[in-house]
Chain A
Amino acid sequence: MRGERLEKNCGKLAGARGNRPGLLLKLELESNPEALCLVRATIERAAEVLEFPEADTRAIVRSVDEALANVIRHAYGGKAGLPIEVRCNRVLAKSNRAGARGLEILLEDEGDPQKPSEFKGRRLDEVRPGGLGLHFIRQSMDVVEFSRKKGKNQLRLVKYRSPAEQLPGSQGE
């Protein structure tokens, strides 16, 4: 019964009533690697509710997980117990993808300022450990933007559903 109710309520997020852009969910967590599995499960469910195909859902989950791992390892230098905020918004594309529905994920941390110009993934023809996380994110998401605002690092990730996957009646801004 509880599962059915959850399905029904989550269905409203994906249905006509839930087409409007806006906040889907907000998570506040600490920089603890053990928390990553909970975030993955939550983001996976959110992407499923928004009817992303399986491969896109995996791509979104992978990107958020890798981004959070980078925050824990680099911005916070591996220290546990420090704050991270994850916000998921439903968005509609404006420019060349006008009307495409998407999921925007904003990650914020209070760690050391990160310099995007210095972010370097490893060359893929090199066989060595490390340097893959950012590559996974860039391969998987439509928008990847780093910024520093009010003393916080912010990463904005967006994944749009391809036009063929749009539900009838969806409208752009």
Chain B
Amino acid sequence: MQIAARPATGGTILDITGDIDLAHSPTVRKALLLEIREKKTPKVFLNLEKVRYIDSSGIASLVEGLKASRDQGSRLILYGLSKSVREVMELSRLQKIFEIHESEAQALGS
């Protein structure tokens, strides 16, 4: 799994490529908390277009990022969810808790 950061309007986009599972969710958590808590980025966009699989530990990392962003008064915005990732969000009943958009253009315009 790889994470690359790039600047975006009002924030940073984190492009994730690969599976977010037990082996890699700590890396996602670290990258999210770096942006949210340390860099205090007002909007963190998580590009999940190239994420084929996420497990419960990955979801836990996203929830932790969401809580940190709420504490900071910033926003965590997800987009490009695959069918598999969307399914896991629905199973967790978190699809309405997170701010989720279909595409990068929609996410950036939100």
Contact = CB atoms under 8 A, between A and B. Distances in A.
Interface stretch (B3-11, B35-43, B52-60, B72-80): B52-60
Contacts of A15: none
Given A33-B22, A34-B23, A40-B53, A124 B60 contact: no
Contacts of B59: 129, 132
A72 interface: yes
B87 interface: yes
A127 B91 contact: no
Interface in A110-161: 124-125, 127-133, 135-136, 139
Interface stretch (A17-25, A62-70, A164-172): A62-70
B56 A127 contact: no
Interface residues of A, number: 26
A126 B41 CA distance: 26
Contact of A136 (B19, B23, B67, B88): B88
A37 B19 contact: yes
A125 B55 contact: no
B60 A69 contact: no
B19 A130 contact: no
Interface residues of B, number: 24
B49 interface: no
A53 to B, nearest CB: 13
B61 interface: yes
A135 B53 CA distance: 17
Contacts of A36: 21-23
B92 interface: yes
A129 B88 contact: no
B97 interface: yes
Nearest to A44: B53
Contacts of A94: none
Contacts of B63: 127-129
B87 A58 contact: yes
Interface in A13-62: 33-34, 36-37, 40, 55, 58, 61-62
A133 B55 contact: yes
A127 B97 contact: yes
B60 A130 contact: yes
25 contacts: A34-B23, A40-B21, A58-B87, A61-B53, A62-B55, A65-B53, A65-B55, A66-B55, A69-B55, A69-B57, A124-B92, A127-B66, A127-B94, A127-B97, A128-B63, A128-B67, A129-B59, A129-B60, A129-B64, A130-B60, A132-B60, A135-B91, A136-B88, A136-B91, A139-B91
